[in-house]
Amino acid sequence: MNLMTIIMKMAEGLEKTCAIFFLTLLFAIPLGMIVALLNGSKIKIVSWFAKVYISVLRGTPLMLQLIAVTYGPYYLFGVSVSRNKLIPVVIAFAINYAAYFAEIYRSGIESMPVGQYEAAQVLGYSKAQTFFKIILPQVIRRILPSITNEIVTLVKDTSMAFTVSYQEMFTIGKQIANSQTSFVPFIVAGVFYYVFNVLVGFVMGRVEKKMSYYKL
Amino acid sequence: MSILRMSNIQKSFGSNHVLKDISYNVDKGEVVSIIGPSGSGKSTLLRCSTFLETIDSGTITYDDKNAAEMKNGKCVYAKNLNDFRHIFGLVFQNFNLFPHYTVLKNMMDAPVSVMKRNKDEVREECLELLRKMGLEDKADSYPCELSGGQQQRVSIVRALAMNPEILFFDEPTSALDPELTGEVLKVIKQLAEEKMTMVIVTHEMSFARAVSDRVIFMDGGVIVEQGDPEEVFGNTQSERMKQFLQNYNNV
């Protein structure tokens, strides 16, 4: 198998890699916000629930979570493993990344000076208005570098889907490497991920620049 | 007529008894300065007046309506506190402008999104206020592009944009260097001439003396002395006040 064929075959898996990547972000970003808000709740049981959630999902391997979400239903309830593994894979990634995002949001929210809340309160803003109009835009600006970090990690983590044999780019590469006893697919994978992350870095850099029209 | 009446206010932070049975009124058109050493409770009194701190006991009345009152020995706040918040404005020591909004948006956002007023009407009013303050060319600037004095003037006009009946100032010049203090004090003086009702917590003694109708001297959580500024500054009866003013005269 020549290099070109290897690249073409692996590129076929890129679509699935991208599906994991974008769908995870789509679900984990808002889910993380919900967890962060629950974590900050004054109701003990609610914040306790969020803390356990974060603790468990950050404290156990993503690989284990992927296996648990994909095959767990079969072992627990005898439900057959769904053909389309994209669903369990995205669920596992989203709940895992939401835990990390939740902690990033918390750090951002807690770094806000209390004066911003007080100014909003005196001007009569409701709690929701204060959060969405005054606090959140500034929090996003503050946490963007940490978010970029997570996104870069996510790009590489998509390769973890090979543990449940989801046919994304790395899984295909690994199969080729095994059948051809070749190291080339791994180099190709490395280049793919690197280029992907250069793109991520470029886009996030643009976003950061766009948001830095004011100083904090 | 009193716009604000506070009676028998008690406030503690843990075991620290900050306000000990304080009562004071502010009449329409009156300028009241609150002076006193650090830790005397003057800022806490202002924060209680603006609901940023909740009082432990006492009553707070705005326009003859109770915002906080005693019921069965407990202090109860009114349900519609936001209606009361429209009566007053507060200018902070650290400005607390919203950094992600332009000057104009800082002013316009609350009247439009909180009071649901007509946007174009509010814009006209805000631009007029900026013109009055000589800040019209700053309407589209962000707070970070302004000097400290300009930021504080913007935070004053932001409060004025809500058309408050009474304006509170919490050490409005303490975060500014002396050169910038003047421009802020000038604005407050101008408002005093227009008969804006104001309560000013300040360390600027000569300013307090010149601008106020009444001066309140606080120490240790109580009002030690209050009255006409000439009386209080020129002919005080209280030993504590004499001692306090000494510190200013000595420099």
Q: Provide the residue ranges of all domains of chain A, joining segments of one domain with +.
A: 14-169
SS (H, E, C) A45-83: HHHHHHHHHHHHHHHCCHHHHHHHHHHHHHHHHCCCCCC
**Residues of B in Cβ contact (< 8 Å) with A137:** 100
In sequence order, what are the beta bridge partners of B74?
B71
Asked if this assembly's ipTM is beyond 0.90, the reply is yes
Residues 6+ apart with CB under 8 A from A128: none
B62's tokens: 């705005």
A12's tokens: 């076929």
Q: Determine the Cα–Cα distance for residues A187 and A194; give it in Å rounded to an integer.
A: 11
A191 pLDDT higher than 80: yes
Q: How many CB atoms lie within 10 A of CB B231?
A: 14
Candidates A124, A129, A215; nearest CB to B86: A124
pLDDT in tens, B16-28: 999 999 999 999 9
Which pLDDT value is given to residue B108?
A: 95
Angle, CA B179 vertex, CA B166 and CA A114 arms, to 5°: 50
Q: Does A212 touch chain B (CB under 8 A)?
A: no
Which pLDDT band holds residue A3 (cuts at 50, 70, 90)? confident
Centroid of chain to Cα B171: 8
Which pLDDT band holds residue B250 (cuts at 50, 70, 90)? low
C-alpha distance from residue B236 to each of B37, B232, B247 (Å): 16, 5, 15
- Residue in A closest to B155 by C-alpha: A119
> How does the average pLDDT of chain B come out, rounded?
92
Q: Does B142 sit within 8 Å of A214, measured CB to CB?
A: yes
Contact B92, B128 (CB under 8 A): no
Name the phi and psi angles at B118, rounded to 5.
-65, 130
Question: Which residue type does B228 have?
Answer: D
**Residues of A in Cβ contact (< 8 Å) with B99:** 138, 214-216
3-class DSSP assignment, residue B115: coil
Which pLDDT value is given to residue B236?
A: 82
Candidates B82, B96, B115; nearest CB to A116: B96
**Residues of B in Cβ contact (< 8 Å) with A121:** 51-52, 85
- Residue in A closest to B84 by C-alpha: A124
Tally of residues, chain A: 216
B114's tokens: 């909180």
pLDDT in tens, A113-133: 999 999 999 999 999 999 999
**Computed over its alpha carbons, how large is the radius of gyration of chain A?**
21
Distance from the Cα of B119 to chain A's closest Cα (Å) equals 17
Q: Determine the Cα–Cα distance for residues A75 and A61; give it in Å rounded to an integer.
A: 19
Residue contacts between A and B (CB atoms, under 8 Å): 59
Centroid of chain to Cα A189: 20
pLDDT cut 70: percent of chain B above it: 99
Is A178 exposed, middle or buried (CB count within 10 Å of its CB: 0-12, 13-18, 19+)? Answer: exposed
Mean pLDDT of A103-109: 96
Between A71-75, A99-103, B93-97, B145-149, the lowest mean confidence (pLDDT) is in A71-75
Q: Determine the Cα–Cα distance for residues A161 and A14; give it in Å rounded to an integer.
A: 12
Q: Determine the Cα–Cα distance for residues B70 and B76; give it in Å rounded to an integer.
A: 6
A140's tokens: 């996003």
Between A135-149, A153-167, B22-36, B224-238, the lowest mean confidence (pLDDT) is in B224-238
Candidates B51, B99, B110; nearest CB to A123: B110
B251 pLDDT higher than 70: no
pTM score of the predicted model: 0.89
Contact B40, B221 (CB under 8 A): yes
Contact B204, B229 (CB under 8 A): no
Contact B203, B171 (CB under 8 A): yes
B40's tokens: 């005397």
Distance from the Cα of B52 to chain A's closest Cα (Å) equals 7
- Residue in A closest to B52 by C-alpha: A118
- Residue in A closest to B162 by C-alpha: A123
pLDDT in tens, B154-185: 999 999 999 999 999 999 999 898 888 989 99
**Residues of B in Cβ contact (< 8 Å) with A113:** 96
Which pLDDT value is given to residue A175?
A: 92
Distance from the Cα of A138 to chain B's closest Cα (Å) equals 7
One of 2.120.10.30, 1.10.3720.10, 3.40.50.11270, 3.40.50.720 is the CATH number of A14-169, namely 1.10.3720.10
The packing angle between helices A169-180 and A184-211, to 10°, is 160
pLDDT in tens, A42-85: 999 999 999 999 999 999 999 999 999 998 888 888 777 777 88
Mean pLDDT of B87-95: 95
Between A93-102, B164-173, B203-212, B237-246, the lowest mean confidence (pLDDT) is in B237-246
Residue among A121, A131, A117, A135 at smallest CA distance from B81? A121
Which pLDDT value is given to residue A165?
A: 87
Q: Does A122 sit within 8 Å of B85, measured CB to CB?
A: yes
Q: Does A129 sit within 8 Å of B113, measured CB to CB?
A: yes
Residue among B55, B163, B72, B96 at smallest CA distance from A114? B96
Q: Does A121 touch chain B (CB under 8 A)?
A: yes
Distance from the Cα of A150 to chain B's closest Cα (Å) equals 25
First to last CA, chain A: 55
Residue among B232, B245, B223 at smallest CA distance from B40? B223
Residue with tokens 């009474």: B166
Distance from the Cα of B3 to chain A's closest Cα (Å) equals 17
pLDDT cut 90: percent of chain B above it: 80
